[in-house]
Amino acid sequence: MANCMVFNAQIASIMEVLANAAVAEICKLVDDDYAVFRLEITQSQKENRALRRKLQLLELKVARERVCASRLSSVKIPDRYRGMARGEGHLTGGHRSFVKLAGHNTWRDDQPITVDEGSGTSTQNIIMIEAAGPGVKQERTEGEKEPQHSTDIQTGAAAGVVPPVATEELSTASTLQSRTRCSIKEASRTPNAILKSETVTETQRLLQTGSDHRSDPERLELGPLGCPALGSEYLLDGNPSPRTVHSHRDSGDVLETGNDPSCSYTTEMDPGNMSLGLETQTDLSRGDWNRYSSSVYSEGCLDKKGEVIVVDKVKVEGDAPPTWNVDETHLGEGHSQGRDFLDYRESLETNTNITTHSPLHAIRDREPVSTSMGPSDSHDRVLFHQVFNSNDSARAQTQGGGATSGNSKEKRFLCMFCSKGFSCPQKVEIHQRVHTGVKPFSCTQCHMCFAQACNLKRHQRVHTGVKPFSCTQCHMRFSHSSSLKRHQTVHTGEKSYSCPQCEKRFSHQHQLKMHLKVHMGERQFVCTQEVLREVPPQDTPAEKTFHSIT
DNA sequence: CTGGGGATGGGGCCC
DNA sequence: TGGGCCCCATCCCCA
C-alpha cells in the first residue's frame, strides 16, 4: 500500500514536471511565432510603403508626361507675352509663377505634392495646375482677342520695359516658380506646415530622384539658394530679394501712375497679364492673389477640360479701377490679412515644408481644423471669390466651357479649377476639394477621411449601425437614404434603366451594365465607347445612366 | 440588390 | 435683406 502511494506520488510529480515542460514549450512556440508574425507584419508594412511611394511616383510621371505631351502640341505664347513672362515687363515678381504653371511641367520637383493619407488623394490636382497655363494663354490671346488686353501688354512693352526676348517657356516658368518658392518659404506660416513634413519630404525625394527634367536646377534657371537666376530687369524691379515684399508702395506706385505702363496690369486682369506679367511679390493685395489664384486655378482646368478660365472675370472694363484696387486700399489700411492670406496660400503652394495638394490647401487648413486664419480668412475667401467672380459671368461661362450651369447670377462663385459656378463661396470651397483632394473630416473610428462633414456623418453610421431609413413595404432598413429609395424599386417594380439596344429594362444600373455586355458580344463591337456613342442622348434616367456608364 | 463614398443643390438659421 | 454657414436630400457611381 505504501509503495503504491509512493508510486502515485512519483507519478504525480513526473506529470507535473511534464506539464510544466509542455507549458514552457508552448509558451516558447507562441513567443517565437509571435515574434515571427510581428516581423512579417513589419516587413509587409515596409513593402506597402515602398509600393505606395512607387505608385505615387508613377502617377506623377504619367500625369506629367501626359501634360507635357499635350502642351508640346498646343502651347504657344505670343511674343508680346514672352517678355512679361520672363519678368521683362513692367511688373515684378510673383505671377511669373503662372508662367511656370503654364510651362512644361514646371511644377518643381520639391513641390509639396503629397498623397493625402487615407484619402487616396493623389497629385492630380497639382498636375491639373501644371497643365493649365498654355490653355489660358492661348485662349486669351488667340481666341478672345480682347483689345484692351492687347493694348495693355503692348503699352507695357513700349514703356521702356525690356523688350521681350524669345525665351524658352519652360525656363521662364521654372524661373518664376522657383522665385515664388523662395519667397514662399519665408512667408510660410501655415499652421500645419510641419504636420506632414515627413510625407512631404518623401514626396520630394521621390520627385527629385525621378527622371523628370524639371529637377535640373540649370533648366530651372535657379540661382543660388535655389532661387531662379533673375534677369537684370527683374532685379531692377525694386524687388531684388526673392523674399516676398508686402510693400504697399509697390502696388501704390503702380496705382498712382496712371500712365505708367505698369498700370496696365492694374486695370487689366486677364489671364494673359496675370499669367505672364504679374508678380505676386509686387502686390500682395488680395486682388493680386485673386489674379494669382485665378491664373493658377483656371489654368488648372484648361488642360483638363480644354476649357478657358474665368480668370479675367476680375478684369475691369474701361477705366474703372479694378476690383482689386479696393483690396489694395484695404491693404493700405494696414490690414495684413489679405497679404497673409496670399502668403499663406502661396506658401501652401510652394513651400516644401507644407503638405498640400494645391494652393487650395489653405482652405483645408482653415476648415474644420481651426487655424490661425480666424474669421478674416473667411472674409478673404469670400472676397477672393467675389473679386474673382465679380464681373462678366457670361464671359466666364463662355470661357469656362459652360461649366457654370444655370443662372450665372445665382452661381457667381466659380471654381478656380474648373470654373464651375456655385451659389456661395462655401460651396465652391467644398467643391474645390474635388480638385485638391482635401478631406478635412476624418472618422475617429477608422482611417476614412471625407471632404464633407455630412458625408462623414453618414459614414459613421457604418460604425454605429444606425439605419434610420426603413422601408415601409418590408423590414429592410438602410443607413443611406438613397439606398432606401433604390431599394423601393423592388416593391414598385420600377425599371428605370432601359437598354438602348433592345427593349429590356432593368431596375438597377448594374443589371443594365451586365446586359450591355451581351450586346457587345453579339455585335462584336471592338470598342465599347463607339457602341455607346451610337446611342443618342435622352433625358430619361435610364439613358442618363447608360451614358454615364459608358 | 445592397453597402457605401463622392459630389451637388437647396433650405433653414444666424449675423 | 443678404451673405455665410450648416445640414440634409439626392443623384451618381463603384464594389
Which grid cell is A223?
A: 540661382
Which pLDDT tens digit goes with each residue over A104-133? 333 333 333 333 333 333 333 333 333 333
- Helix or strand or coil: residue A414? strand
Name the nucleotide with the smallest C1'–CA separation from A423.
Answer: B9
Residues whose beta carbon sits under 7 Å from strand C: A 378, 381-382, 385-386, 424-427, 452-454, 457-458, 480-482, 485-486, 509-510, 541, 544-545, 548-549
Among A367-371, A417-421, A473-477, A510-514, the minimum mean pLDDT is found in A367-371
Predicted local confidence at residue A361, as pLDDT: 37
pLDDT bin (cut points 50, 70, 90) of residue A230 is: very low
- Quick one: CA dihedral A219, A225, A228, A233, positive or negative? negative
- Provide CB contacts within 8 A for A122, sequence distance 6+: A56, A59, A115, A437
Predicted local confidence at residue A439, as pLDDT: 86
Name all domains of chain A by residue range, CATH numbers in brackets: 54-436 (no CATH), 469-549 (3.30.160.60)
Which pLDDT tens digit goes with each residue over A23-82? 677 657 656 666 665 667 667 777 777 777 777 777 766 666 655 444 433 333 233 223
Tell me the DSSP string of A28-77. Answer: HHHHHHHHHHHHHHHHHHHHHHHHHHHHHHHHHHHHHHHHHHHHHHH---
| Strand B lies under 7 A from the Cβ of residue A213 | no
Predicted local confidence at residue A30, as pLDDT: 58
| Strand B lies under 7 A from the Cβ of residue A466 | no
With distances taken from each CA to the C1' atom of nucleotide B2, the closest residue turns out to be: A483
Question: Which residues 130 to 169 of A reach strand B, CB within 7 A?
Answer: none
pLDDT at A1 over 80: no
CA distance A531 to A550: 9
Which pLDDT tens digit goes with each residue over A195-209? 333 333 333 333 333
Distance A456 CA to C2 C1' (A): 30
CA distance A482 to A473: 16
Which grid cell is A330?
A: 484695404
Distance A313 CA to B9 C1' (A): 24
CA distance A347 to A114: 15
**What is the average per-residue pLDDT within A327-339?**
31
Which grid cell is A4?
A: 503504491
Name the nucleotide with the smallest C1'–CA separation from A545.
Answer: C12
Q: How far is CA A136 from the centre of its chain?
A: 17
CA distance A205 to A177: 19
Q: Higher model confidence: residue A11 or residue A471?
A: A471
Q: Which DSSP category does A478 fall into?
A: E
pLDDT at A420 over 50: yes
Predicted local confidence at residue A201, as pLDDT: 32
Predicted local confidence at residue A476, as pLDDT: 83
- In contact, A183 and A344? CB cutoff 8 Å: no
pLDDT at A405 over 60: no
Q: Higher model confidence: residue A482 or residue A328?
A: A482
pLDDT at A454 over 80: yes
Which grid cell is A325?
A: 484696387
With distances taken from each CA to the C1' atom of nucleotide B7, the closest residue turns out to be: A431
Predicted local confidence at residue A349, as pLDDT: 34
pLDDT at A505 over 60: yes
Name the nucleotide with the smallest C1'–CA separation from A366.
Answer: C5
Name the nucleotide with the smallest C1'–CA separation from A121.
Answer: B6
pLDDT at A158 over 80: no
pLDDT bin (cut points 50, 70, 90) of residue A487 is: confident
Predicted local confidence at residue A467, as pLDDT: 84
Integer CA distances (angstroms), A530 to A504, A513, A527, A537, in order: 21, 15, 5, 14
Predicted local confidence at residue A437, as pLDDT: 83
CA distance A357 to A296: 13
What are the respective helix, strand and coil percentages of chain A, to the nearest 5? Answer: 60, 5, 35
Predicted local confidence at residue A35, as pLDDT: 65
pLDDT bin (cut points 50, 70, 90) of residue A540 is: very low
**What is the average per-residue pLDDT within A527-534?**
35
Predicted local confidence at residue A353, as pLDDT: 33
pLDDT at A486 over 50: yes
With distances taken from each CA to the C1' atom of nucleotide C8, the closest residue turns out to be: A454
pLDDT bin (cut points 50, 70, 90) of residue A477 is: confident
